[in-house]
Every structure is written in C-alpha cells, then in structure tokens.
C-alpha cells in the first residue's frame, strides 16, 4: 500500500503543545519516575559493566548525531558514582560525535547487552581527554585509543524491555542474512555513480577491518 501523503502535511491531528500531549498520554507511572536517579547505583553499574555496546547521542551547530561504540564487555569504565569513561576507538574518522562534544558537551548514552531486554540510559555532559596514561589504560592489541570520552552523569535510569520484546531483537529468528541487504561497496558505488568500485571495496574490506579494528 502506498504511503498516505496527507500524513506529512500540517493538520489538526498534530500534537503541538504539552497540554495536548498530556491529554493523550496522561501521567507517568510512579516506577517510571522513581527509577531515574543522579548517581550510578551498584545495580546500574552492573548493567554498564556488562554492556559491550553503547550508542552516544550528541548535538552541535550542524545538528544531531548518534554513533555506536563497541568493545568487549567492561570497556565502559565506571570511575565513580557520577563518571564513566569510554575509549574512542578507530572508526571512519568523521569524528562527528567528538566535533559536537567540543562545542556542546551535552550527551546521552544508551547501553545494550545481548540477550537482555532492559537498556540503560545516561544523560550528562562530556569532555574529551588525550591524557597519555588514561589512553594507555584502554589499550587493545597493543594500540591505544586516540582519546577517551569522559562523561559526567546528570541522570541514569533503565528502559523497560517492551521495545526489544516487540522487535524480537535478540531472538535467533530475527537475524537477517547479510546477503539480503546491499553491501557497503554497492551503496558507495551507487552514491558516487561509479566513482568508487563497489566490488573492489567489498573484497578489500575483510583485510581492512583486520588492519584497522584497533
């Protein structure tokens, strides 16, 4: 079925005030409010240290950015009840998140743990450090991260598992075979109108990721 074009047009069905929003959703349940605290409790720390994956949301003059970070569980280091440190490993070198943090320190983190429905969320502010000893403490395969992101906690809370239950994210039957979607090489070839050879890009990628994973 073709999408309804009217859904993207301004109309009386749009929510434009907080009062209108409250009329639809009502009050938040007590537990949804009390789960948010301003320190990393022992229970929340357990989740953070078990997470091999975190998504970092940042904001800057050009707009918003949402970027993944991943490593073996425990790579997100809890320094104290109000601070976590995340190594900035090699990526595509766009450094969108870091550019944003330099100009606007506000960040939001979403931690995911394979097989676990609950996610953990942190809102706070971030700084970027290149302290040699701190970077060296995060070395992997003999290589230090170029920098580390130090996040000062504003608030932390868990998100209930409804979204992951509905999406069946961790269910084995939800795994999508890689060959059912375009390769990164084919995407680049299409975007650049053949300037980049997609086949060559894809064939070189396995070795490239071995060489640049850390």
Mean pLDDT is lowest, of 30-34, 71-75, 121-125, for 30-34
Does the structure show a pLDDT above 80 at 153? yes
Superfamily for 29-166?
A: Electron Transport, Fmn-binding Protein; Chain A (2.30.110.10)
State residue 6's pLDDT score.
56
State residue 26's pLDDT score.
84
**58 exposed, middle or buried (CB, 10 Å; 0-12, 13-18, 19+)?**
buried
The pLDDT tens digits of the residues spanning 7-58 come to: 566 677 899 899 988 888 888 887 778 899 999 999 999 999 999 999 999 9
State residue 164's pLDDT score.
96
> Order of strands, edge to edge, in the sheet holding 53-60?
63-70, 53-60, 106-112, 119-129, 147-159, 83-88, 77-80
For residue 37, give the 3-state DSSP assignment: strand
Continuous segment of H or E residues that includes residue 155:
strand 147-159
State residue 34's pLDDT score.
84
Take residue 89 and report the two structure tokens written for it. 């490993």
Does the structure show a pLDDT above 70 at 162? yes
Residue where the block lists tokens 């190594």: 87
Give the start-to-end residue ranges of the domains of the chain.
Answer: 29-166, 176-212
């Amino acid at each position: 079925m073709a999408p309804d074009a009217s859904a993207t047009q301004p109309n009386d069905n749009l929510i434009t005030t907080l009062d209108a929003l409250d009329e639809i959703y009502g009050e938040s349940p007590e537990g949804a409010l009390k789960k948010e605290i301003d320190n990393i409790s022992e229970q929340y720390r357990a989740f953070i240290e078990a997470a091999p994956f975190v998504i970092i949301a940042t904001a800057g003059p050009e707009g918003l950015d949402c970027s993944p970070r991943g490593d073996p569980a425990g790579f997100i280091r809890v320094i104290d009840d109000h601070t976590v440190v995340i190594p900035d490993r090699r990526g595509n070198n766009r450094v969108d998140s870091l550019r944003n943090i330099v100009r606007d320190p506000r960040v939001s983190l979403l931690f995911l743990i394979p097989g676990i429905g609950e996610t953990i969320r942190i809102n706070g502010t971030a700084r970027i450090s290149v302290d040699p000893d701190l970077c060296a403490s995060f070395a992997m395969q003999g290589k230090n991260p170029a920098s580390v992101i130090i996040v000062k906690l504003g608030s932390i809370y868990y998100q209930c598992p409804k979204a992951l239950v509905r999406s069946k994210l961790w269910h084995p039957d939800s795994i999508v075979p890689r060959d059912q979607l375009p390769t990164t090489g084919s995407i680049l070839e299409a975007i650049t109108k053949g300037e980049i050879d997609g086949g060559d890009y894809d064939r070189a990628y396995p070795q490239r990721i071995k060489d640049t994973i850390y």
